[in-house]
Amino acid sequence: MAKITTSALLKLKQQGEKITALTAYDASFAKLFADAGVEVLLIGDSLGMVLQGHPDTLPVSTAEIAYHTRCVRAGAPQAFVIADMPFMSYATMEQAFANATPLMQAGANMVKLEGGEFLLPTIKALTERGVPVCGHIGLTPQSVHVFGGFKVQGRDSAAADHILQQAIELEQAGAQLLVVECIPSALAKRISEALRIPVIGIGAGVDTDGQILVMHDLLGISSGYIPKFSKNFLQETGDIKRAISQYISDVKQSAFPGAEHSFN
């Protein structure tokens, strides 16, 4: 695989080719995913749930994300690697600077922050200082207690318009990538068409510029709650490598996610 950059991801969007992304937490799986052709690897704070067994992502630390980022980078030197900034690690601009630094030094190409308007000055400041930013709106897991659970966002017209406006403002502030999670398919399509930057969906329908899944969900090995938007590709193929290839193929051909994995 040629080295993936923000320019390469932007070109995929411009050419109408879907971007594939998966979470990764170690060198072995990172190499497997990258060798199969997955463009983007996210060291998600989802590791708090799938690796550490917590009920949510809140206990994860910056040091833990940095550790797993180093592992993923070692396994996939050519992939585009995004590192999540954990809960309350960017509550102030100074915290954002301090916590983004070890993640970029560990090998991330970009950091991901959850939220809307309050982040705009922070995103602008980070990008001005050489730290590329991925935004994340819709259902933002770090705010699960504010939302009262893992609930679909943007279902009424006012909420949908607000999320679209958030997306536009995040791009204007300097975000070079955007993740939209658990929002209606029609809203995700509006966002993807309105933005110049690539929009990656999870539980956001098939019309985004790309898709991301938690690797444990793709392989059907997550314990406890399995979200509607996930699909067990391992069950369908019977082999891990074939499961990854099938995921890539289905995303590229807009066969995944289907209606059964999406929200109206």
Q: Give the DSSP per-residue string, the chain.
A: -PPP-HHHHHHHHHHTPPEEEEE--SHHHHHHHHHHT--EEEE-TTHHHHTT--SSSTT--HHHHHHHHHHHHHH-TTSEEEEEPPTTSSSSHHHHHHHHHHHHHTT-SEEEEE-SGGGHHHHHHHHHTT--EEEEEES-GGGHHHHTSS-----SHHHHHHHHHHHHHHHHHT-SEEEEES--HHHHHHHHHH-SS-EEEESS-S-SSEEEE-HHHHTT---S---TT---HHHHHSSHHHHHHHHHHHHHTT-SS-GGGS--
pLDDT at 24 over 90: yes
pLDDT at 120 over 80: yes
State the pLDDT at residue 152: 81
Residue 11 is assigned to a ligand binding site? no
In a domain, residue 125? The reply is: yes
Residue 84 is assigned to a ligand binding site? yes
Mean pLDDT score across all residues of the chain: 94
State the pLDDT at residue 145: 58
**What residues make up the domain containing 34?**
6-261
In a domain, residue 171? The reply is: yes
In a domain, residue 243? The reply is: yes
In a domain, residue 1? The reply is: no
Which is more confident, 147 or 248? 248
Residue 46 is assigned to a ligand binding site? yes
pLDDT at 116 over 70: yes
The CATH code of the domain that includes 78 is 3.20.20.60
**% the chain with pLDDT above 90:** 84
Catalytic residues: 181
Residue 112 is assigned to a ligand binding site? yes
Number of domains making up the chain: 1
